[in-house]
Amino acid sequence: MDVKGYKFVRWRVWLTRLAAVLSLGLILLLFHWRPRLAILARCCSCSLASAEILTLKDSYGRQHVVEVLQEVAEEGSLELVGEPEDNEWRDTVTLYKEEKTVLRYYVFEGQRYMWLDRKGAFCLVSVLSEDWTCLDLHGYQNGLSLQEQKSRRRTYGANIIDVPVKSYVKLLFEEVLNPFYVFQVFSIILWMIDEYYIYAVCIFVISMLSICISLYEIHKQSVTLHNMAQVITTVTIRRDSGLEESVSSVNLVPGDCLVIPPEGMLMPCDAVLLTGECLVNESMLTGESIPVLKTPLPHTEKAYSSESERRHTLFCGTTLIQARGGGPRGSSTIAVVVNTGFFTAKGRLVSSILHPRPMNFRFYRDSAKFLLVLGFVALVGSIYSFVILFRNNETVKSLIIRGLDIVTIVVPPALPAAMTTATIYAQHRLKSHGVFCISPPCINVCAKVSVFCFDKTGTLTEEGLDVWGVMEGGPAGFSELVSGPSLLPPGGHLLSGLACCHTVTLLNGQPLGDPLDLRMVESTSWTLQEPEDDGEVLNAEFGGHRVLAVMRPPAQQLQAEETATSEALAIVQRFPFSSALQRMSVVTVTQGGRSALAFIKGSPEKVASLCRAESVPSQFSSYLNSFSKEGLRVLALAFKPLDRDTDLTTIQRKEVEKDMEFLGLLMMKNLVKPESAQAINILNLASLRTIMVTGDNILTAVNVAKSCGMVGSDERVIFVNTTPYTAHDTPTLMFNLEEDAVSNQNSAVVSLGLYQEDSRYHLAISGDSFASLCNYFPEYLPKVLLRTTVFARMTPDQKTQLVKELQKLNYCVGMCGDGANDCGALKAADVGVSLSEAEASVASPFTSKTNNISCVPLLIREARCSLVTSFSLFAYMAMYSLIQFCSVLILYTVKMVLFDEQFLFIDIVLVTFVALVMGRGGPSAVLHPVRPPASLLSLPVMGSIFIHLSLVLLGQLAAILIARSEDWYVPQNLTNTEPSIENTTVFYSSGFQYIFIAVVVTKGYPHKKPLYHNVLYLCLLLVLTAIMIWLVVYPGYFTAEFFTLYNITNIEFKMLLLGLAALNFIICFFAEVLIEMGVLNCLHLLRGTRPSKKQYKCLNKLLSNSPSWPPLNELLPCMSYGPLSQLAVVYPPLDTQPPKLMQ
């Protein structure tokens, strides 16, 4: 963030107060809207070291103002036990020493930033513990002293995620000071002065109702978020004296030693597990409903990170279902607090809800710009009215009031509220289909999605897997394929590895864990047993080792062959699965502790790389490719014996996972969900690009992509392969055709004409190649991204990076996953859809209870319907203001005005009800290939408004001119309180215009159902038309008196007015039809053809004209070295230089 310091200047402060009094508080209102102006007026710039006020500019360019707070530190409270240099710590948190030590900090979005004198800047207080290593955390196992905890609490603050719930009075004050309501107050005062009492009172009542509803909703949401965010409970911590003490979770600080009860708890902070194991439900954070087993943090010198050590970290807000002690004699489960308050994972998520990133959507940007256009129109109208009224010898008061009244007419204050009705209706329709949205503005954004990324397992394919076969392997090769582990020889290591290498645990006697692990263990027929009470019985059975779980073979195996490996095995150490490492491992011992074995399970490529080369069968690659091409999920297993004298509880993962002996392959069938192919086909027909992002094998991923329709049966797949940089070799890049395609045709023939219209291809790339591509071949990255459909073996961080790289190409990116490993990508995407049973997941703006991707086409259809309806509402509200603007100026010209009751009828009866029900209806049943436009300032939209404005103006002028040309017309010299022919004629003609313009701007095909499907809307239009016909033909005495209508007795003139309204409607309707057909697009020919502003469109056009890309089977050397951050992403020359791409 860009931070600047200021301090108050006394004479400026007093001068500002005087200006506030003289301006009757208007300058304070301006300061409320623009706090930075208040700082510039009251303060002068200074160094950060002496600043009292700071201005912050965040990464989105938004300005914020915060106050620097100070606290006096107690004597000796800045010393931390365990820090190597006390003076270094004191220098870190102390700004200056006069007589007392002062801590200076500010709070921004819930997080505390402390002044660090050594760095000369304000830094997050979390920086004080960012250098902790895993060994450092184990050093806190004995707990903190009371004095240490107090000093840290003063530095880090209270452990609370405080979402303030403002009182109704404060909310009312803030709501009334909103520019929208300030404009309403200004308008009401103006109308009261102009003696529009009834209209002013009605608008006041409506505004108060709107404020009350808004306050209730805001307060309700604040209370809900407050209750969800705040976790205050009583916890047990360990002091350095060895005693355990119960304290409030508010007092927890980083470094506290937390004692977790066996029955579990709701985590009030982020903590790292040091001893024991915990079964955790993380659905609140990730949307993943499957409990996760957390294991102790290893004793390494590696720097601790909550992301890289997720399987050892207990996150705030998650529920610990159960805990098992891991110390000697079944001692308690111990964890050390690493983050508190808004620095926790939950705190960061709550902060993202309270302070969402700005919606950089063109529709919302253009709507704000269009208000400026209306403001300019209001200025022109005010000048015109001033001139006309001045020539009519109006008083100065009347000149001012009439001029300002034009502003209240042209700039509709209800425009922002009216435009939200479309998203509200869409949100309710989505909710009825099981799709929940926590950010309604994202609905319109979803209408512009151009590429959608999908996770594979659990999203495109079924969550559960079935064991398809097992094949033992060794130096002599692979043995015969068997259909299940239970058919393996009972004494084999492969069977033992399949039974033990997992993180399945028991809850109330029922096994819980990853579906893959559950199915694997079930197929072995072995039984899982966990320690009871202090676990001493099982510990004694297995040689005194601390037992986490025991796997016992079925009785028939024991009877079949009495061997050492056919007996029960105890799991004494687990290294859980890591997406980054692509593997997991366990350490086991036999009964009596006679021998110890380590087993590893993971991706075949990774496991094989950790095995001794001579133990891996020579046919490994061919079998792996064969099984993967069939769409099977392939896992490899390996083992090695461990020295009995090794301390198995502290053995490091890197020591276990090396020099392994290859055991064999496990194949599991992961069926594609039947809804996946249907949904992908719908997206393909709608010309929406689809991408698969998975952690699975690349050949398996390609097979699934073909099964679900991402890759057509007649389309080729090209693999992108890279070699990393080494001390001896430079990185290389190569494009290889799929083996089947090469076997059928010569590669040179295949590559010829790859970009011809009748030939399509897809690229597939692995995570390692993607990383090398980003680091060493950034010049090729955009072109590869443009054509890649399958991203395999991708880590969670790489998924997030992929989304961001696609956004750099100006794609509007959607991401659909089932939570867990997809959280980062779901948040980074423009539209994130989480498949979860929860009604709302903070992992993404959209959550679907339907556990398949059929929700994605539904969401896009609803979003397009919402965006199109928002356009219609915008056009209608703009035309409503402009029609009334024309009416008022015409009447000013003839020395007349619209009456109070007429304004009320138009605004409330004709316009408000129409705007409220226009958003009803629903989306089209078919997803159209053409996306709806998002720009309000485009030629069709602005041209449509200008043409309709001209036509309605001509309609009103024609009505007055016809009335004045009638034989029975007699010029009148009336006051503004008496009925007149001109007023009545304009009221009649404009009344019909408000109705038929709603029909004209209401869009249907191809993104929305036709108008007649919105029955309520259609009935309302018919009723309003009937009312207007009644008012024209025979209003009656009381109605005419109420609306101050002139008694027109000529029935032919009344019929003429109805005919003129019908003609006006027909002309406007056909004009809109011609505009939709693209008549105005011919004006684009005058300016010539312009390149698209979307980078991916420019690049696509460039590549389509380049038959030499991609070069098949050619080694492309790296042009330069270094990470992507040091290289500019440029397009290499193909046949021609690409055009300059506009951001």
Region 42-63 average pLDDT: 88
pLDDT of residue 170 exceeding 70: yes
Tokens of 443: 């609905």
DSSP strands (E only) in 567-671: 569-578, 583-590, 596-602, 632-642, 661-669
Strand partners, 466: 669
pLDDT of residue 1127 exceeding 50: no
- For residue range 950-972, what is the model confidence (pLDDT) as tens digits? 999 999 999 999 998 888 888 77
Query: How many Cα atoms sit within 13 Å of 996 on the Cβ side?
Result: 25
- For residue range 376-424, what is the model confidence (pLDDT) as tens digits? 898 998 898 888 888 888 888 888 888 888 888 888 766 777 778 888 8
- For residue range 135-160, what is the model confidence (pLDDT) as tens digits? 888 888 888 888 888 888 888 888 98
pLDDT at position 956 is 94
Tokens of 759: 């030939």
103 within 8 A of 154, measured Cβ to Cβ: yes
- CB-based contacts of 483-489 (< 8 A; 24+ apart in sequence): 484/523, 485/520, 485/523, 485/524, 485/666, 486/523, 486/524, 486/525, 489/561
- For residue range 229-287, what is the model confidence (pLDDT) as tens digits? 788 889 999 888 888 889 999 999 998 999 988 888 889 999 999 888 888 888 777 66
Tokens of 629: 């091409």
pLDDT at position 326 is 61
Strand partners, 816: 454, 833
Q: Which of 785, 805, 782, 808 is nearest to 1134 (CA)?
A: 782
Contacts of 1138 (CB under 8 A, 6+ apart): 1098, 1099, 1102, 1131
Within 10 A of 537 (CB to CB), how many other CB atoms are there? 11
- For residue range 444-453, what is the model confidence (pLDDT) as tens digits? 899 999 999 9
Stated length of the chain: 1143
Q: Which of 1063, 992, 999 is nearest to 1024 (CA)?
A: 992
Read out DSSP for 420-433? HHHHHHHHHHHHHT
Give the separation between CA 644 and CA 642, rounded to whole angstroms. 6
Region 653-675 average pLDDT: 88
641 within 8 A of 596, measured Cβ to Cβ: yes
Contacts of 541 (CB under 8 A, 6+ apart): 547, 570, 591, 592
pLDDT at position 404 is 85
- Which DSSP state fits 303? B
Within 10 A of 224 (CB to CB), how many other CB atoms are there? 12
- For residue range 722-754, what is the model confidence (pLDDT) as tens digits? 887 766 678 888 888 876 444 444 444 444 444
Q: Which pairing describes strands 689-693 and 788-792: parallel, antiparallel, or unpaired?
A: parallel
Percent of the chain with pLDDT over 70: 89
Residue type at position 878: A
pLDDT of residue 79 exceeding 60: no
Give the separation between CA 656 and CA 119, rounded to whole angstroms. 41
3-state secondary structure of 962: helix
Give the separation between CA 794 and CA 764, rounded to whole angstroms. 12
Give the separation between CA 1043 and CA 169, rounded to whole angstroms. 39
pLDDT at position 557 is 54
Whether the bond between 1110 and the residue before it is cis, its omega within 30 degrees of 0, is yes
Q: Residue 843, Cα to own-chain centre: how many angstroms?
A: 7
Q: Which of 836, 1084, 1066, 803 is nearest to 955 (CA)?
A: 1066
318 within 8 A of 280, measured Cβ to Cβ: yes
Give the separation between CA 624 and CA 703, rounded to whole angstroms. 13
Give the separation between CA 428 and CA 446, rounded to whole angstroms. 16
Region 1039-1064 average pLDDT: 91
Whether the bond between 441 and the residue before it is cis, its omega within 30 degrees of 0, is no
Strand partners, 672: 461
3-state secondary structure of 257: strand
User: What angle do helix axes 197-229 and 168-176 make, rounded to 10 degrees?
Assistant: 130
Q: Average model confidence (pLDDT) for the chain? A: 83
pLDDT category of residue 338 using cuts at 50, 70 and 90: very high
Tokens of 515: 């579906």
- H/E stretch holding 718 reads strand 716-723
Tokens of 634: 């392939």
Give the separation between CA 1110 and CA 1112, rounded to whole angstroms. 6
Active site residue 455: yes
pLDDT at position 976 is 65
Give the separation between CA 93 and CA 868, rounded to whole angstroms. 55
- For residue range 298-324, what is the model confidence (pLDDT) as tens digits? 888 888 888 878 888 999 888 888 888
507 within 8 A of 321, measured Cβ to Cβ: yes
pLDDT of residue 833 exceeding 60: yes
More confident call, 861 vs 1079: 861
pLDDT category of residue 1132 using cuts at 50, 70 and 90: very low
Q: Which pairing describes strands 661-669 and 632-642: parallel, antiparallel, or unpaired?
A: antiparallel
Tokens of 605: 């490529």
787 within 8 A of 776, measured Cβ to Cβ: no
Residue 579 — left, alpha, or beta (φ > 0 → left; ψ -120 to 50 → alpha)?
Answer: alpha
797 within 8 A of 820, measured Cβ to Cβ: no
pLDDT at position 327 is 55
b (16+ CB within 10 A) / e for 911-927:
bebbbbbbbbbebbeeb
Q: Which pairing describes strands 716-723 and 761-766: parallel, antiparallel, or unpaired?
A: parallel
Tokens of 459: 């999203």
Q: Which pairing describes strands 257-260 and 234-238: parallel, antiparallel, or unpaired?
A: antiparallel
Q: Which of 256, 270, 405, 455 does the annotation list as catalytic?
A: 455
Q: Residue 976, Cα to own-chain centre: how many angstroms?
A: 56
Percent of the chain with pLDDT over 90: 22
Region 881-898 average pLDDT: 90
Strand partners, 69: 105
- Which DSSP state fits 671? P
Give the separation between CA 453 and CA 812, rounded to whole angstroms. 11
pLDDT at position 790 is 93
- For residue range 756-815, what is the model confidence (pLDDT) as tens digits? 444 578 999 988 899 888 888 888 899 999 999 999 888 888 888 999 999 999 899 999
More confident call, 960 vs 594: 960
Give the separation between CA 695 and CA 821, rounded to whole angstroms. 9
- Which DSSP state fits 210? H
Within 10 A of 975 (CB to CB), how many other CB atoms are there? 7
- Which DSSP state fits 237? E
pLDDT at position 25 is 84
Contacts of 686 (CB under 8 A, 6+ apart): 857, 860, 927, 928, 929
Within 10 A of 1090 (CB to CB), how many other CB atoms are there? 9
pLDDT at position 1017 is 93
Give the separation between CA 587 and CA 600, rounded to whole angstroms. 9
pLDDT category of residue 77 using cuts at 50, 70 and 90: very low
- Which DSSP state fits 716? E
